[in-house]
Amino acid sequence: MRAYTYIEHGKFGLSDKPVPKLTGPRDAVVRVTLCSICTSDLHIKHGSVPRAVPGITVGHEMVGVVEQVGAEVASVKVGDRVTVNVETFCGECFFCRRGYVNNCTDPEGGWALGCRIDGGQAEYVRVPYADRGLNRIPDAVSDEQALFVGDLLATGFWAARISEITEGDTVLVIGAGPTGLCTLLCVMLKRPKRVIVCENSPERARFVKEHYPGVLVTGSEECRDFVLRHSDHGGADAVLEVAGGTDTFRLAWECARPNAVVTVVALYDRPQLLPLPEMYGKNLTFKTGGVDGCDCAEILRLLEEGRIDTTPLITHRFPLSRIGEAYRLFEERADGVIKIAVDCGK
């Protein structure tokens, strides 16, 4: 089969590999119908994910059809259309039982697919702990609608869930890239009084204004003043930092009102400064980390009810045979690209 492979630092390529087999009773093999390209894939390509193993098939955002299941897999069966979760988790350890699946202590746990083990930019993928990692897609939900459930939407949903948003709140989302947009959609589910998005790219700011007319948009220069003018208590009640830029961590806590929750979803290239003397008395709560991707069933239900729609984020479509071109476009952020759906059957 064709599989897009991490060949060496700076180089990915389409290679021919055997179709994966079940290696244990809790595995499933999925025929990938659609996959997407994520910024984390670029991080692997450029060597900023040291645990990524050269030779592996990349890709951790995908949907497909179950081809084979191990003897102990009970939640999905052959022929089911499924989403694949970016995280592998056992469901039984201390952290999994509390919903902190990102910290699963199993040796296969965490972000394994497309990083430490073969992922889904391929015709087939083996998924360990298939009962946890796969969710059946309802008939009324298309593959494109479900494409981001296991990664981007799981992240946005988790971020909105831990940010303690209530209906009277003003919420600031920093960054309107793909993850920022998914976070925005999940924040809107909480029906806060106001949502402000901070985004400097004119193209992305326009996208937000066009698709989500109730959302206020500002750039980072004027963000602090803008939030002050558009909030009731001297700043945002909740801030979700999804940009990961040079100054966006500082912007996040500066725009927060006293006693606000600041959720950091972004992954930074560099350490960030926490100037405690300057924040003294502001009594902020910071929440940080990687997604606990255990809400996929609920996200699929919301998609089925039409309460979330991420299909406008798919700006480009490519066949697997031309995935190299798709990567170039995504990496150069050319042609207004937000997300690319790659058809793995072509």
Instruction: Give residues in contact with Zn ion (CB under 5 A).
Output: 38, 40, 89-90, 93, 96, 104, 106, 151
Q: Are 97 and 318 in contact (CB under 8 A)?
A: no
State the minimum distance, in angstroms, from the CB of residue 124 to Zn ion. Answer: 20
d(CA 315, CA 123): 22
Q: Which is nearer to Zn ion, 92 or 298 (CB)?
A: 92
Q: Which is nearer to Zn ion, 20 or 293 (CB)?
A: 293
State the minimum distance, in angstroms, from the CB of residue 290 to Zn ion. Answer: 10
Tokens in use for 64? 């497909």
State the minimum distance, in angstroms, from the CB of residue 218 to Zn ion. Answer: 27
Tokens in use for 337? 């690209």
SS3 (DSSP) at 329: helix
In 3D, which of 98, 106, 111, 57 has the Cα closest to residue 342? 57
Tokens in use for 44? 């692997």
Pairing between β-strand 216-218 and β-strand 194-198 as defined by DSSP bridges? parallel
d(CA 153, CA 181): 9
* Element spanning 206, H or E: helix 202-211
State the minimum distance, in angstroms, from the CB of residue 45 to Zn ion. Answer: 13
Q: Which is nearer to Zn ion, 93 or 162 (CB)?
A: 93
Q: Which is nearer to Zn ion, 118 or 151 (CB)?
A: 151
The DSSP secondary-structure symbol of 149 reads: I
State the minimum distance, in angstroms, from the CB of residue 184 to Zn ion. Answer: 17
Q: Which is nearer to Zn ion, 106 or 144 (CB)?
A: 106
